[in-house]
A and B are shown apart, each in its own frame.
Chain A
Amino acid sequence: VGQLSNALLVVYLADVAISVWRRGDRRRAVTVVGSMLLFIAAAATHAALVNHGKVRSPYIVIFFFLGLILAMGYELNRNVLGSREMARKLQTSAEELRDSEERLRLAAKAASIGIWAWDIPRNDPGASSMTRAVRKSGESEQIGFGRFLSSVHPDDREGMQESIEKAVAERTEFEREYRVQLPDGQTRWMAARGAVERDSAGAAVRMRGVSLDVTPQKEVELELLQQRSELAHLARVTMVGELSGSLAHELNQPLTAILSNAQAAQQLLAVDAPDLGEVREILGDIVAEDKRAGEVIQRLRLLLRKGEVNRQPLDVSEVVEDVLKIMRSDLVNHRVTVAVAPSPDLPAVSGDRVQLQQVLLNLVLNGCDAMRRTAPGERRLYVRTERNGDGSVHVLVADRGCGIPGEKLGGVFEPFFTTKPHGLGLGLAVCRSIIRAHGGEIWATNNVPDAAGATFHFSLPAAAARS
Chain B
Amino acid sequence: MSDRPPTVYAVDDEPAPLKAVARLLRTAGWNVATFSSPREFLERIDPAAPGCLVLDMSMPELTGLELQQALEARGCALPLVFLTGRSDIPMSVKAMKRGAVDFLTKPVDREDLLVAVRRAVERDTAARNERAEVAAVQEQLATLTPREREVLEHVISGKLNKQVAADLGTVEKTVKVHRARVMEKMRAASLADLVRLAQRAGVRPA
Contacts and interface: CB of A to CB of B under 8 A. Distances in A.
A in complex with B: yes
Interface of A: 245, 248-249, 252-261, 263-264, 267-268, 282, 285, 288-289, 292, 329, 331-333, 335, 337
Contacts of A249: 58, 85-86
A253 B16 contact: yes
Query: Which of B13, B20, B110 has the most C-beta atoms of chain A within 10 angstroms of its own C-beta?
Result: B20
A15 B86 CA distance: 110
Contacts of B98: none
Nearest to B83: A256
B158 interface: no
B86 A260 contact: no
B177 interface: no
A260 B58 CA distance: 19
A264 B24 contact: yes
Interface stretch (B69-77, B101-109, B133-141, B197-205): B101-109
Contacts of A282: 23
12 contacts: A245-B86, A252-B107, A254-B17, A260-B20, A260-B23, A260-B24, A261-B23, A264-B110, A332-B58, A332-B59, A332-B60, A333-B58
B107 A259 contact: yes
Contacts of B109: 259, 263
A257 B60 contact: no
A394 B86 CA distance: 37
A285 B19 contact: yes
Contacts of A261: 20, 23-24
Given A267-B24, A332-B60, A333-B58, A257 B17 contact: yes
Contacts of A331: 60
A253 B17 contact: yes
Contact of B108 (A260, A288, A332, A333): A260
Query: Which of B16, B19, B28, B110 has the most C-beta atoms of chain A within 10 angstroms of its own C-beta?
Result: B16
Contacts of B108: 256, 259-260
B85 A329 contact: yes
B21 interface: yes
A245 B91 CA distance: 15
Nearest to B111: A263
Contacts of A288: 16
A260 B24 CA distance: 6
Given A252-B106, A264-B20, 13 more contacts: A248-B86, A253-B17, A254-B17, A255-B106, A256-B20, A260-B108, A264-B26, A282-B23, A292-B16, A329-B58, A332-B13, A332-B60, A337-B60
A278 to B, nearest CB: 8
